């Protein structure tokens, strides 16, 4: 189905996966995945967490590196001007909402805290990716319209091939989820699903 974007050439080509991928997991911490927390009861994020956990099992078997982040602050003074109440009130080191979801957490992951929307902003992620000669990032996590999108844009800006596993991402609203996937798919990334990513990972040379 054509639209004003495709008519003028948006989404005209597939980026495709490269030879050295890594999986990025955005903010699948208990603050977003455990219903006892204010942001933890969103069905799409629970589904995305389950899908991501399955994808990570395949990635580990294929020895594909995994980076997982959570959002946390020492004090309110270092926090950006978030408009999300739960983030402003709870996302501090030591609060249980900052723990990684146990479905995601693994000792082999590169796990670290971020302080802004993107996984890349003032973190060691680029250094970690470059040291392993990564050319492709597979983005998963939450939320699609917020930190996932910011991570996609930064990954694109740093020159990585970007794949977004749509069913491994979640948001509060299906419309915003779909709209943002559609938009990054027009501009910055290939929007695929978990099955596509797993087939791609299995086709990589061993090791």
Residue 119 near residue 111, CB atoms below 8 Å: no
Distance CA(159)–CA(174), nearest Å, equals 29
Helices (H), 83-193: 85-90, 125-131, 149-157, 174-187
Catalytic residue (choose from 69, 97, 142, 147): 147
The label of the residue with tokens 């915003």 reads 176
Calculate helix-pair angle for 149-157, 174-187, nearest 10 degrees. Answer: 10
DSSP symbols for 104-137: T--TTSEEEEESSSSSSTTSSHHHHHHHTT--EE
147 part of the active site: yes
Q: Which residues are catalytic?
A: 147
């Amino acid at each position: 189905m054509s639209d004003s974007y495709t008519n003028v050439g948006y989404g005209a080509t597939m980026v495709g996966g490269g030879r050295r991928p890594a999986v990025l997991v955005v903010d699948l911490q208990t603050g977003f995945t455990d219903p006892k927390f204010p942001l933890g009861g969103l069905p799409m994020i629970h589904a995305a967490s389950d899908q991501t956990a399955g994808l990570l099992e395949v990635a580990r078997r294929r020895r594909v590196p995994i980076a997982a982040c959570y959002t946390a602050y020492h004090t309110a003074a270092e926090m950006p001007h978030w408009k999300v109440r739960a983030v402003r009130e709870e996302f501090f080191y030591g609060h249980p909402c900052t723990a990684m979801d146990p479905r995601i957490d693994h000792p082999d992951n590169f796990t670290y805290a971020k302080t802004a929307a993107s996984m890349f902003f003032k973190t060691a992620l680029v250094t970690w990716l470059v040291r392993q000669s990564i050319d492709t990032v597979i983005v998963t996590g939450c939320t699609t319209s917020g930190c996932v999108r910011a991570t996609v844009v930064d990954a694109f800006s740093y020159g990585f091939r970007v794949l977004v596993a749509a069913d491994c991402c979640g948001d509060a609203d299906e419309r915003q989820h779909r709209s943002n996937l559609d938009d990054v798919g027009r501009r910055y990334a290939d929007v695929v699903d978990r099955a596509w990513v797993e087939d791609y990972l299995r086709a990589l040379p061993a090791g």
